[in-house]
Amino acid sequence: MGTCRPIDISGRLGGEEFAMLMPETEAADAFWAAERFRQAVEAESIALPDGKTLQVTASFGIAPLSEATASVEAWLAAADEPLYAAKRGGRNRCVASG
């Protein structure tokens, strides 16, 4: 998709949850990066063997990592809150914490 920078790190947390660490990125820039990624996911079609296609969407929760963040678990919990807000708000959207 070409939406990640070489310094960005992404990985699967489990189930259908993924995380992306974007070093040297301000919160507003992280939001717009997530929005570009969301749009790229939405634009893709997956061809199925029966000739049909599958459309996939994604919801994102964005939380900055700062010196005040006590642990990785706390940081992930801070991102979960806006993620669930995105899902409650209709899915296929980005929501930032705060």
- Is 40 inside a domain boundary? yes
Structural domain total, the chain: 1
The pLDDT tens digits of the residues spanning 5-21 come to 899 998 999 888 888 88
Q: What is the pTM of this model?
A: 0.85
Q: Which residues are catalytic?
A: 16
Contact criterion met (CB below 8 Å) for 2 and 12: no
Amino acid at the residue 48: L
The pLDDT tens digits of the residues spanning 20-73 come to 889 889 999 999 999 999 999 999 999 999 999 999 999 999 999 888 889 999
CB neighbours (10 Å) of residue 67?
Answer: 4
What pLDDT shows up at residue 59?
95
What pLDDT shows up at residue 4?
82
- Is 3 inside a domain boundary? no
List the domain range (segments joined by +) for residue 75: 9-96
Rounded Cα distance between 88 and 22, Å, is 25
Domain of 53, CATH number, reads 3.30.70.270
